[in-house]
Amino acid sequence: MSQSISRRDALMQLALLAGGSSTLAAGPTRAASEPPHLMPSDPTAVALGYHADATQVDPKQFTNYKPGETCSTCLQLKGDAGQPWRPCNLFPGKLVSANGWCRVWVKRP
Ligand code: SF4
């Protein structure tokens, strides 16, 4: 009897480990209520030249880009300063990277 309980306990621990490893493999998760991150492949993002990492912007392709410009200094960015992903007036329902950039960047006064 005690052997079957031990086996059951072992199987339960394996199941818990398997569940935990799949969570780890999926990477960090966002809070369920947090809007999704804007993907650079989003059609509107493509149209506006959005990059999640402003250092990856090609200044030959986006001639109005100046090094150092990021969403974190843009007039259109909302939300709390210091947060890595924040709402933007141009992309409702999505979060943009504070380190991102798009062609309509306007310096926050
Ligand atoms: S409008 Fe400003 S905050 Fe929004 S994605 Fe473009 S650069 Fe970033």
Q: What percent of the chain has pLDDT over 70?
A: 72
pTM over 0.85? The answer is no
Structural domains of the chain, count:
1
How many A from CA of 8 to the centre of ligand 1?
A: 54
Does residue 10 belong to any structural domain of this protein?
no
What's the pLDDT score for residue 31? Answer: 64
Choice between 31 and 49, residue whose per-residue pLDDT is larger: 49
User: Does residue 90 have its Cβ closer than 6 Å to ligand 1?
Assistant: yes
Question: Does the pLDDT of residue 6 top 60, yes or no?
Answer: no
Does residue 84 belong to any structural domain of this protein?
yes
How many A from CA of 41 to the centre of ligand 1?
A: 15
Does residue 89 belong to any structural domain of this protein?
yes
How many A from CA of 28 to the centre of ligand 1?
A: 24
What's the pLDDT tens digit per position in 38-48? 999 999 999 99
Per DSSP, the three-state class of 86 is strand
Q: Which domain holds residue 70?
A: 35-97
- In sequence order, the 6+-apart residues with CB closer than 8 A to the CB of 90 are 44, 48, 76, 102, 104
What's the pLDDT tens digit per position in 68-77? 999 999 999 9
Give the CATH number of the domain where residue 83 resides. 4.10.490.10
